[in-house]
Structure 1
Amino acid sequence: MRRKNITIRLAILLAIANVTVTVASAGVLDSIDLTRKVVPLVPLDMDRVAEVSNMLPQTPKGFGDPYQNRSVWDKLDHNPKYSQVIKVAEGYLNKPFPAWSDEQYLLYFTKGTRPGGEKMMKDRLSWLAPLVWAECLENKGRFVPTIQMVLNELIHQKSWSLPAHDKNKQNIEGRNYTVDLGASGFAQNVAQAVYLLNDKLTPELRAEVLSQMNKHVFTPVLRSVATGNKDSYWLTVTSNWNSVCLAGVTGAALAIIPDKQERAKFVTIAERYSKNSIAGFTDEGYCTEGLGYYDYGFSKYILLRESILQATNHAIDLFADPKVKRIALYAPNLEIMNGIYPTIADCHVGIKAPAAILWYCNRNLGLGLKKYNDLTFAGTANLCDDVMHAFPNSASESKVDVNTSKSTSGPRSYFKEAGVLIERPITGSQAMMGAALKGGNNNEIHNHNDVGSFSITVGEEMLMGDPGGPSFYTAKTFGPERYTYKLLASYGHPVPLVAGQEQHEGASAQAKILNTKFTDKEDQFIMDISSAYTVPALNKLVRTFTYNREKLGYLTVKDDFEFKTRQSFELALITRAKWKQIAPDQIEFDGQKQKMIATIKTKNGFIVKSETIEENAPAFTRLGLVLPAAEAGTVTVVFTPIKSN
């Protein structure tokens, strides 16, 4: 029976040094982590503001150079990868600008759906970058009238914040303006446009942009710091919200505020509260939000670091904390094999390593990843990230040791604090199977109830494991009904259903690692996952993973369970491959190129219960291996790859 009445922890702003509040990137909830410290909200340190002010240039500066630096822009104009944006911009000259729609914005409040309002706002902002790029490249003035129209439309739209983050509709109704993921990025892109075009825009428009920026972004943030109100709660959270919002607000301030002491206030704020972003990672650099949100959040931390580094002439460096290097290595260490990564938390299927992050960190931090020594950037969809990469920056100006190369993370990566083990074959061996094994707890950022979950890769295909997160969010995704989605609940993960009960959410649902034994030949990873189930009759539930690297390799998953009375026990296997039962004790999984066999060993047999699940994500199959009711038992599944002819 699925648990319907679930209470999810709302994120509360607690300005206490021994409490970390984490907020989901798509809503105002997630989890409260009592194990890490955060930097609490305090009034602005004006002595530090004065020091920072002395580091800043007299005039505001964004990324790159304004259009007047023709030597650079003309060079970019002759690069076909950049000049092609002119054709995109030309397409906007005779088209109507996407209209603001209250109806689309309010769909989140009337129907609980997010895509309509978010797409409407994205479509409007998407005009800005191509037009500004085109004008800076061409420098003929023919895009300026359209750019001025677009800027005027954007800065006067009713809300800069996304509908899902507009608490009680305060932004769209003009009662109070708050900064969220949307407003912060919106502000930085607008400010960057004004910086690049400067005197091509009328003085009246530039003044109005700054006025609206103060109203929607700068004043609300300064007010939160001064009064301790919760409008800018992201200052003291440890999720991606912290780095994303700080990057946008700080970047906008540096690019558009005339008074350098006012600019210094936002650098001082970022310098202090960006520490909370770093606190959100384990000491080993593991990101519980998953690889997708690591890409989103840490890429903005990099943008924040680069903007402050350039503005202060390298006097303030947010990479100074040695933990940043461990965070930078998270993606390489998370790789299972052959470019395949686990889709833990709200990741999308097929997620890959973020090349831009690895290039930037490899060159700045000396990671020794030869693959990322060089990378070609020619994007024009974003005025901040793309301009930063098109012009000299700390990474492009860094020298790398071409003789140093780290091509693999070895046979395993063990994130001990997170309880996550990545298993790989020995380089050059015949083994063709890798795995991701997850302990952890059910109170993680972007949490799925997945204590004891696992994923299996054969060759270049993931044939079994965590189904990943939703393709889009709804009002339910981060509300009390979150775990009614099978995709997010333990029901949709390769973990047991115990006495008919799924795992519960919360920090108390935590894998206790009982033993680890690692050798070149074989690894063993044993965990007690009984705390994840609210089943009074349950005495014992121990999951043992054994990963073997000999020959083609194999993975064994064994569950030992005991009850006070006879109870049901069901083991779930999650796959997007085709499957068929080829023997009473064997199931074959057939992917696009690879195959594997699961051999199930249990004393009294089992029946297979198949269910197709499709909830805002690519459909997957849940195979329930249902055992007869018993007081105790053991079920072992051995996954073995089949070598193709």
Structure 2
Amino acid sequence: MLCLLVWITGRVQAGEPRNLLQQQGDVNFVKKVLLAKEKWMPYPAYRDRNAWNLFLGDYKQDLIQEGEKYLTYQWLIVKATDYLEYSRSDSRTIMEEPFNKNLKAISTLFLAEMAEGNKRFMDQLINGVFALCEMTTWSLSAHLSLQQGNNKRFPDHQQNIIDLFVGDVGSMLSWIHYFLKEEFDKENKLISERIRFEIKKRVLDPYMETDRFWWMGFSTNPSQLVNNWNVWCNSNVLQTFALMEEDQEKLAQAVYKTMRSVDRFINYVHEDGACEEGPSYWGHAAGKLYDYLQFLHNITGGQISIFHEPLIKNMGEYICRSYVGNGWVVNFADATARGGGDAALIYRYGKAVNSKEMTAFASYLIKESRDNLKPKEFRDVFRILESIAHNKEVINTAPSLPTASYTWYPQTEFLYVKNVHYFLAAKGGHNNESHNHNDVGTFSLYVDTIPFFVDAGVGTYMRQTFGSERYSIWTMQSNYHNLPTINGFAQLNGANYKSSDARFDNRYNRFSLDISKAYPKEAAVKTWYRTYTLSSKELKIEDAFELTTTKQPHIINFLVAAKPDTVKKGIISLRKEGKEVILHYPYQQFDVEVDTIELTDKKLSSVWGKELYRIKLVAKSTHIKGKYVYTIQKK
């Protein structure tokens, strides 16, 4: 979720110009309703020890104990060669690891000092802050060429760019400055002055002086990508301005600019509210939008608020509907199949949009030990403090899972259908989505919440993941999704490679679509209708096709998480966690091949184990017209 090149993915068409935030009022209205910090700040001052003890409750000792681990921490240097390594070996982790360790130490020391309040952590915190201020950039190595001019991959001291981490660091330092400025000044006023100087140089000035950062969404290109970067960066920028900008006129201008920018993200999102980046990106897409909207609501005393809009509620409830059970989630695109979401964030979002489904789901995640309320996002002070503030509310909420038997997202073309044993996820869409895989028409199937027919997700991010070689990676290719290889050809990436005639009939739990346009002209396919029908007994899959010519035998691919047993003709058995699932196929039409895919990437193996398997049903003959039928049943 940390990096996405704007030219990798786009949009089929521009989103509707809803401009929900700008409809709330112009810059003069913003200036009128902005509150002074002392009126909107919900947290106690550093010196108010009784208030902090009450606010933190059971968290106090945990935060102090975590901070004690860093009292002798040796601050790491992010070396010049760490940045160069991204160009040399494609590794981004060489630079990110020491940087993240330093940021984790700073955040932990800060929270420990706020919890204890006797300055025991202050010196180490000052060391960490000073180390940050001495860095040429707070940007990640993988983001430099995207943001800096002339495709530069090394920190340019003459440019100040804003990426995800620059925003994160700027926001974190702003909170530290707000709470501890007076204590820093007692040591030396240059400490807080240096923080203010660096934040102004790296965040405040660049944000107001340019519209060129792609994530702002101000491009005149109607198909420009506007993804989680937009709300992630704007949420941090808004907090930074609100905490650091003393000039009310400049503050109003900045707040209004964030509103204009975030409107571009809201305009881009489909009305159905689905997150095309998948559930594991929800926290930094819809979730960051919530953070932004909540903070904007706070600093304007609720005078600027769009939580009542159905779209915002739809975006929130997506995370509930994507949950399969037992810690598994639907994972289209680059999302991972494990998770459930940040319970505290889901609860707060649900409370803001009046969604009992979200608040109950958040409580479920807590009660089922799939989550806990311990702060996760160590760089996000706002989320940490808000999680602590809502702790008791989440715990005291009755838990439950969503009860809807199906959820159909007609604009995004995502479908979730479930019954007592099966959870089917299928999709249409196009092959130019954010964090795109070439996967138009694919599906995943869980039986008793166990994954059998799956989407691998994505491996550890590297240069190729977000470059011109993206689709050389097997996890991105349609041949490694549950899709056909037609006349020897796989799907291609691009906005023009898409589904058509996508329909869902909820009377029969039947989803059908034509996936022919997702394949190149060389595939010579006029139509290829894939239909999924889920009943209480089975999933039935039908492929009805028409070609203009025959070239090579079709291959029907199935990616599975259990080793296939292919001994019996027409039957492939899959056994996993004490369950058995049978794939029935017409053996008169197909031969069977099985590929074992060794998972050497830790990100993939941590989800699926050592191996995944690809079943290939290879057509014995190819015809101009034809129909294949397969069924999947729990035994």
Deviation at 1:574?
Answer: 0.3
| 1:4 aligned partner | none
Q: Distance in 2 between matches of 1:419 and 1:554?
A: 22
Q: Which residue of 2 aligns with 1:221?
A: 207
Write the letter of the residue equivalent to 1:205.
I
SS at structure 1 position matched to 2:275:
coil
Amino acid at match of 2:425: A
Tell me how far apart the structure 2 counterparts of residues 581 and 185 of structure 1 sit (CA, whole Å): 51
Say whether the 8 Å CA contact 1:362–1:372 is kept in structure 2.
Answer: no
* Aligned-partner Cα distance in 2 for 1:357–1:391: 11
Find the aligned partners of 1:468 and 1:477 in 2 and give their Cα distance: 12
1:544 aligns with 2:537: no
Paired amino acid for 2:383: D
Aligned partner (choices 229, 233, 236) of residue 248 of structure 1: 236
Amino acid in the other structure paired with 1:182 = F
Corresponding residue of 1:111: 89
Distance 2:339 2:57 in 1: 34
Determine whether 1:212 maps to 2:201.
no
Amino acid at match of 1:419: E
Q: Secondary structure at the match of 1:52?
A: helix
CA separation in 2, counterparts of 1:191 and 1:326? 32
Deviation at 1:240, TM superposition (A): 0.2
* 1-structure distance, mates of 2:76, 2:111: 20
Q: Which residue of structure 2 aligns with residue 583 of structure 1?
A: 568
Q: Say yes or no: does 1:137 pair with 2:115.
A: yes
Which residue type is aligned with residue 445 of structure 2?
I
User: Contact 1:108/1:475 (CA < 8 Å) preserved in 2?
Assistant: yes
After TM superposition, give the deviation of residue 266 of structure 1 in Å: 2.2
Tell me if 1:69 matches 2:48: yes
Question: Residue in 2 aligned with 1:568?
Answer: 553
Between the aligned partners of 1:88 and 1:268, the Cα distance in structure 2 is: 38
- Does residue 457 of structure 2 align to residue 474 of structure 1? no
Task: Look up the SS of the partner of 2:622 in the other structure.
Answer: strand
SS in 2 for 1:476: helix
SS in 2 for 1:269: helix
Kindly state the Cα deviation for residue 601 of structure 1 after the two structures are TM-superposed.
1.4
Contact 2:329-2:337 at 8 Å conserved across structures? no
Contact 1:82-1:379 within 8 A present in 2 as well: no
Q: Partner of 1:582: helix, strand, or coil?
A: coil
Q: Kindly tell me: are residues 121 and 514 of structure 1, through their superposed partners in 2, closer, same or farther at Cα, counting changes over 3 Å?
A: closer
Alignment map for 1:326-345 (pairs within 5 Å): 326-336=314-324, 340-345=328-333
Determine the C-alpha separation between the residues in 2 that align with 1:488 and 1:408. Answer: 30
**Out of 610, 615, 625, which is 1:623 matched to?**
615
| Structure-to-structure mapping, 1:352-363, within 5 angstroms | 352-363=340-351
Range 507-516 or range 472-481, more displaced: 507-516
Q: Distance in 2 between matches of 1:448 and 1:128?
A: 37
1:260 aligns with 2:245: no
Matches within 5 A, 1:17-416: 25-37=3-15, 48-59=26-37, 64-76=43-55, 78-79=57-58, 81-167=59-145, 168-169=151-152, 172-202=155-185, 203-224=189-210, 228-230=211-213, 233-234=216-217, 237-336=225-324, 340-369=328-357, 371-372=360-361, 377-379=373-375, 381=378, 382-391=380-389, 407-416=401-410
Question: What is the distance in 1 between the residues matched to 2:215 and 2:534?
Answer: 49
Listed one character per residue, the Cα deviations across residues 143-201 of structure 1 (whole Å, up to 9, x for unaligned) are 11111111111122121111111123477230211101111011101111111222111
Cα separation, 1, equivalents of 2:231 and 2:393: 22
> Which letter maps to 1:570?
I
Change (3 A) 1:282 1:131: same
1:461, distance to aligned residue in structure 2 (A): 0.7
- Measure, in 2, the Cα distance between the counterparts of 1:293 and 1:63: 28
Check 1:199–1:387 CA distance in 2 against 1; reply closer, same or farther (3 A cut). same
Amino acid paired to 1:584: K
Whole-angstrom CA distance in 2 between matches of 1:82 and 1:379 = 12
Question: How many Å apart are 1:477 and its aligned residue?
Answer: 0.7
Query: Closer, same or farther in 2 for the Cα pair 1:373/1:625, shift >3 Å?
Result: closer
2:369 matched residue in structure 1? none
- Deviation at residue 469 of structure 1 after TM alignment: 2.0
Deviation at 1:610, TM superposition (A): 1.7
Whichever residue aligns with residue 574 of structure 1, its letter is L
Note the residue ranges of structure 2 that are not aligned, 5 or more in a row: 146-150, 220-224, 367-371, 606-610
Contact 2:406/2:418 (<8 A) preserved = yes
1:424 to 393, 418, 421: 418
Aligned to 1:16: none
Considering only aligned residues, what root-mean-square deviation do their CA atoms show, in Å? 2.9
Contact 1:504 1:534 in 2 (8 A): yes
Deviates more, 1:593-602 or 1:237-246: 593-602
Secondary structure, aligned partner of 1:33: coil
- Give, as a single letter, the amino acid of the residue that structure 2 aligns with 1:465: V
Q: Secondary structure at the match of 1:501?
A: coil
How many residue pairs are counted as aligned between the two chains?
Answer: 598
TM-score by length of 1: 0.86
Match of 1:460 in 2: 449
SS at match of 2:181: helix
SS in 1 for 2:585: strand
> Shift in Å at residue 452 of structure 1?
1.2
Give the AA of the match of 1:289: E
Residue 329 of structure 1 aligns to a residue whose secondary structure is helix
Q: Conserved in 2, the CA contact under 8 Å of 1:238 and 1:279?
A: no
Name 1:20's counterpart in structure 2: none
The alpha carbon displacement at 1:124 in A equals 1.3
Q: Distance in 2 between matches of 1:128 and 1:624?
A: 51
Identical positions, percent: 21
Q: Does the Cα contact within 8 Å between 2:344 and 2:390 map onto a contact in 1?
A: no
Distance in 1, matches of 2:540 and 2:492, equals 25
Asked whether the equivalents of residues 82 and 378 of structure 1 are also in contact (C-alpha less than 8 Å), the reply is no
Q: Give the Å deviation of 1:364.
A: 1.7
CA contact 2:560–2:614 (8 Å) conserved in 1:
yes
3-state DSSP class of the match of 1:54?
helix
CA distance in structure 2 between the aligned counterparts of 1:233 and 1:56, rounded to whole angstroms: 22
**What is the deviation of 1:262?**
2.5
The residue matched to 1:601 in structure 2 has which SS? coil
In 2, Cα distance between the equivalents of 1:613 and 1:496?
Answer: 22
User: Are 1:441 and 1:451, in contact at CA under 8 Å, matched by a contact in 2?
Assistant: yes
Deviation at 1:322, TM superposition (A): 2.9
Separation in 1, partners of 2:315, 2:113 = 38
Once the two structures are TM-superposed, the CA of residue 320 in structure 1 deviates from its matched residue by 4.5
Report how far residue 37 of structure 1 moved.
Answer: 3.5
Q: CA deviation at 1:213?
A: 0.8
CA distance in 2, matches of 1:210, 1:268: 22
Q: For residue 130 of structure 2, give the secondary structure of its aligned residue in structure 1.
A: helix
Q: Is the 8 A contact 1:501 1:535 kept in 2?
A: no
**In 2: Cα distance, 1:76 partner to 1:526 partner:** 53
Q: Is the 8 A contact 1:58 1:260 kept in 2?
A: no
Structure with greater contact order relative to length (CA < 8 Å, sep ≥ 6): 1
The match for 2:608 is none
Code of the aligned partner of 2:330? P
Asked whether the equivalents of residues 344 and 468 of structure 1 are also in contact (C-alpha less than 8 Å), the reply is yes
Q: Is the 8 A contact 2:344 2:362 kept in 1?
A: no
- The structure with the largest helix share of the pair is 2
1:604-641 Cα offsets, whole Å, 9 max, x none, are 33132424153742342112111123224332221001
